[in-house]
Amino acid sequence: MEFKHKPVLLEETINGLNIKKDGIYVDGTLGGAGHSKKILEQLSNNGLLIGIDRDEEALKAAKENLKQFSNVKYIHGNHDEIEKILEELGIEQVDGILLDLGVSSYQLDERERGFSYLGNNELDMRMDKSQSLTAKEVVNTYSEEKLAQIIFEYGEERFSRQIAKNICKYRKEKEINTTQELVEIIDKSIPSFAKKEGHPAKRTFQAIRIEVNDEIRPLYETVRTCIKHLKSKGRLCIITFHSLEDRAVKNAYIDATGKCTCPKDLPYCVCGAKSEGQIINKKPIIASEDEQNENSRSKSAKLRIFEKR
């Protein structure tokens, strides 16, 4: 399948990075390289782009999309490992970092990957096919309590307990192997009046995908690490699609500005909070009405920008 992925908030992100033509930039979620291509178009031959992705298919597609550029390093890895990746490249600090979080249109459309609740495919949902944990393992081995918690927290699904209960009831008789089996269980768990809010399986599939790929738990520390490896006046641009992602990014940015954590009754600061930089946009940047109409994925997108001191 051709890797098609329309970059969200493209112009806003490129403007937010404030690109220097000879700078070093990291795209920690390379995908189809839509954002990266725009970055490279503004770089001179002395500039460098480091493209990181967990998905080897994405890297393959990006190499094809960026074949006219020679100043790119492709890394099969996770943006959560950015410190290790930069260290191995012998690079201490960079001029800008971009993270476009969430799942790509390609991964959703490639049904055999098991990300989509449409069709009938094996439960997988791994962004990195080399990892061991799959959606099938989550669905068939996690306790009812843990399933309910994941579906509620990551999917914001109000019927999470009933869905988890029915998953565990079904798997006692037969292992749940396919997306269609899971969709049918979810469908029976949600009352008909609530099915007007979109596909009944959407939130549960999102939650399981986030769990499989560990998308939220390390995010706060990843943001702080990215800021640490920015040069002075370097920019970090992060696009989120989920309230928990956005909260982790927002909190990391606030803490990086040097937010004092001392008790309010102390007459002066003793925590030693120091500012690492400033938040460029206090409120997240969202897609224009035109972009939202053209690309439904952009409707939940939020862009937050941080600049290093």
Residues 176, 105, 154, 253: is their CA dihedral positive or negative?
A: positive
> What gap in Å lies between CA 125 and CA 53, rounded to an integer?
15
The DSSP call for residue 189 is H
pLDDT of 119: 82
- Asked if the model's pLDDT at residue 92 lies above 90, the reply is yes
- The model's pLDDT over 197-256, given as tens digits with 9 standing for 90+, comes to 788 999 999 999 999 999 999 999 999 999 999 999 999 999 999 999 999 999 999 999
- The model's pLDDT over 145-198, given as tens digits with 9 standing for 90+, comes to 999 999 999 999 999 999 999 999 999 999 999 999 999 999 999 998 888 778
pLDDT of 271: 78
Cα 255 to Cα 39, 79, 166, 274, 277, distances in angstroms: 28, 20, 41, 9, 10
Band of pLDDT at residue 37, cut at 50, 70 and 90: very high
> What gap in Å lies between CA 16 and CA 170, rounded to an integer?
48
Residue of higher predicted confidence among 57 and 6: 57
Residue 247 burial (CB < 10 Å; 0-12/13-18/19+)?
Answer: middle
Among the four given CATH numbers 1.10.4160.10, 1.10.3720.10, 3.20.20.150, 1.10.150.170, the one describing domain 113-212? 1.10.150.170
Per DSSP, the residues of 199-225 read -TTHHHHHHHHHHHTT-STTHHHHHHH
Band of pLDDT at residue 1, cut at 50, 70 and 90: very low
- Asked if the model's pLDDT at residue 111 lies above 70, the reply is no
> What gap in Å lies between CA 27 and CA 14, rounded to an integer?
11
Q: Is the CATH number 3.40.50.2300 carried by domain 10-102+216-308?
A: no
- The model's pLDDT over 241-297, given as tens digits with 9 standing for 90+, comes to 999 999 999 999 999 999 777 888 888 878 777 899 999 999 999 999 999 999 988
> What gap in Å lies between CA 9 and CA 73, rounded to an integer?
24
pLDDT of 112: 67
Are the C-beta atoms of residues 279 and 305 closer than 8 Å to each other? Answer: yes
pLDDT of 110: 62
- Per domain, the residue ranges of the chain are 10-102+216-308, 113-212
Nearest alpha-carbon partner for 148 in 171, 133, 166: 166
What predicted TM-score, i.e. pTM, was given to this entire model? 0.89
